[in-house]
Amino acid sequence: MHWPEQAIKICGVRTVEHALVAAHAGATLIGMIFAPGRRQISPALGHSISAALRAAGVPTHSVGVFVNESAATINTIAAEAGLDVVQLSGDEPADIVADLNLLALKALRLTNSPAEQQWQALALAQPGQVRLLVDAHVAGSYGGAGVLADWQRAKAWAASTPTLLAGGLGPHNVAAAIEAVAPWGVDVSSGVETDGIKDSAKIIEFVTAARQALGRQYI
């Protein structure tokens, strides 16, 4: 597959229903969590969601989120779940990409560490294989914390390489975030939930607002 021209990712999806709601609204990436946590799903459920997206005939790709797994484990689960993209949300080294079978999305938290600099260099050199996701830095968290990222620093990253903006986004602020950062796309999880469960109305509202704002970047 190829990366979508514009990325709107709904992450932490745990049902076929919510995946299809997001896809039909215009989301281009559906994120499923295979790391320990309250949003974790099984590879079998992931396969059902991936298959439903393909059967629906929508231009929406499945993304599996992993935290500090080996390339072998990631490749195995990715095959079982029928994934299109793998997201690395832990402390994975950049050289893991050589051993992955799918496109890679790497979550960074703008700590300016040597490891993050290596990932940025890799994304600059191989944008067809590796894209970056910028999230907030929250101690002890590997994402989904609902905290805003540093938009000013994210803008600098987005200016040099295709960047997916995450962290504290929701229907209420996604348009402002896109205007401020000019990212390749946006990512949301808790911002489209009610009481910890994905909310179809919020998903549609978020995707609609994101599509409109991303469209304005190309006018």
Question: Which residues belong to the active site?
Answer: 11, 135
The residues with which 188 forms a beta bridge, in sequence order, are 10
Q: Can you tell me the distance from the alpha carbon of 27 to that of 202, in angstroms, rounded to the nearest whole number?
A: 13
User: Which residues on adjacent β-strands are paired with residue 105?
Assistant: 87, 131
Q: Assess contact for 157 and 129: CB atoms under 8 A.
A: no
Distance of CA 126 to the CA centre of its chain: 18
Q: Which residue has the tokens 């944008």?
A: 127
Please give the angle made by the CA atoms of 138, 143 and 149, to the nearest 5 degrees: 60
The HSE-up count of residue 190 (CA atoms within 13 Å, CB side) is 12
Helix/strand/coil for 41: coil
Please name the helix (run of DSSP H) or strand (run of DSSP E) that holds residue 187, with its range, or none. Answer: strand 185-188
Question: Cα torsion at 111, 112, 116, 119 (round to 10°)?
Answer: 140
Q: Give whole-number Cα distances, 11 to 27, 34, 106, in Å.
A: 10, 11, 14
